[in-house]
Amino acid sequence: MKFSGSAMIILAAIFWGITGGLADILMDKGWDPLVISFYRGAVALLCFTGWFSLSRKGGKIFSAPLILWSIVAGIGVAGNFTFYFLSIESTSVPIAATLMYTAPLFVMLASFLLRIERSTWFKWMCIFSVLAGIVLLTEAYDTGSSAVNLAGVATGLAAGLSYALFIFGFKKSAEAGEPQTVLALAFLAFCVALSFFVNFEKAASVLKSGDIGWFIAIGILGAGLSFALYTIGIKRTAPSTASIIAMVEPVTAALFGIVLLGEELSMMQLAGMAVILLTITVLSVKKGD
């Protein structure tokens, strides 16, 4: 059971990493990041609606807390998808994926502010370590560098913050309902929220384009199948193990960007990536113990 759970999370993380690369390909073809994000969520909604319908056993399914927290999760994942793709557009797949991986740091800072957990020297050292890693990754120390712009860094961190919101909303909603119900409601909220920002003329043009297959692949691999695998796998895996496994996503995204898309990172940027991934993983493992 433990192995099967770990395998599911690894597969989900690989799919998420590949999704960033596929989105980068579509953006190079001229597609709007908002349109890509919308289709990722819309295809996922179809998947989760089907899962919900097949698993429904009757009785009371919905409750106010379930609906409320599922909406919070949906808004979080909408922000995560959109800001992640915007960050890729401004920077690169490896950098955007690594910045998004700072999500546990935002969860910890929120816990400090809400007094859910107390701050310690170890946790603050982790915070400064991640900040140092971000400086190296984005080459912020070099004022003459044009490798990374401020918008790319801001949207990458916003993707991490949005993912933290999704984690919080999903955990709370999962206490009130089954994962398939939570995910169906969350991605319904996702589509509603993004409908206020997406250009529907551009979105409709996808259906008649030769790239429709790429959009479907992003929706299935990047949300529908991957989220289902993750939610099932997390129940069978220890939190500390899941934290280590999660590092597969930014590593996969980095390899996709470097090997297949020809993106390049300097030694200092690779060092910054390593510092961020290692620090966040150690922090997550320690909290999971």
d(CA 130, CA 125): 9
Q: From the CA atom positions of the chain, what is the Rg in Å?
A: 18
Confidence band of 288 (pLDDT split at 50, 70, 90): low
pLDDT digits (tens, 9 = 90+) for 260-276: 788 877 888 888 888 88
Nearest to 12 by CA among 220, 279, 274: 220
**Spatial separation of the C-alpha atoms in residues 20 and 85, rounded to whole Å:** 7
Mean pLDDT of 227-243: 76
Q: For residue 285, which of 257, 249, 253, 245 has the smallest C-alpha distance?
A: 245
Distance CA 178, CA 161 (A): 25
What pLDDT is attached to residue 1? 45
In the predicted model, is pLDDT for residue 155 greater than 90? yes
Rounded CA-CA distance 12/230 in Å is: 6
Res 7: pLDDT: 84
Averaging pLDDT over each range in 68-77, 104-113, 167-176, 244-253, which range is the top one?
68-77
* pLDDT at residue number 59: 58
Is the CB of residue 156 less than 8 Å from the CB of residue 84?
yes
Residue 233 has pLDDT above 90, yes or no: no
Q: Which residue has the higher pLDDT, 127 or 17?
A: 17
Range 222-241 average pLDDT: 82
Span 182-209, mean pLDDT? Answer: 95
- Tell me which of 114 and 45 has the higher pLDDT: 45
Q: Is the pLDDT of residue 240 over 60?
A: no
- Nearest Cα residue to 66 out of 77, 74, 55: 74
pLDDT in tens, 78-88: 999 999 999 99
Which pTM was predicted?
A: 0.85
Q: Give pLDDT tens digits for 89-114.
A: 988 888 888 888 887 777 777 777 77
pLDDT at residue 57, as a whole number = 67
The rounded Cα 20 to chain-centroid distance in angstroms is 10
The pLDDT confidence band at residue 62, using thresholds 50, 70 and 90, is: confident
Select the more confidently predicted residue: 143 or 224: 224
Closest CA to 85 of 132, 39, 125, 48: 39
User: Residue 212 pLDDT > 60, yes or no?
Assistant: yes
The rounded distance, in Å, linking the Cα atoms of 153 and 96 is: 8
Side chain identity at 92, as an amino acid letter?
S
**Band of the pLDDT at 172, cuts 50, 70, 90?**
confident
Mean pLDDT of 163-169: 87
What are the structure tokens assigned to 87, written together? 């960050």
| pLDDT attached to residue 272 | 86
124 and 182 Cβ atoms separated by less than 8 Å: no
Q: Give residue 46's pLDDT.
A: 97
* pLDDT at 239 exceeding the cut of 70: no
213 exposed, middle or buried (CB, 10 Å; 0-12, 13-18, 19+)? exposed
Angle at 20 between CA 15 and CA 21, to 5 degrees: 95
Cβ atoms 171, 103 nearer than 8 A: no
Tell the burial category of 188 from Cβ atoms under 10 Å away from its Cβ (0-12, 13-18, 19+). middle
φ and ψ at 148, to 5 degrees?
-135, 130
Choose the weakest-confidence range: 3-7, 155-159, 197-201, 221-225: 3-7
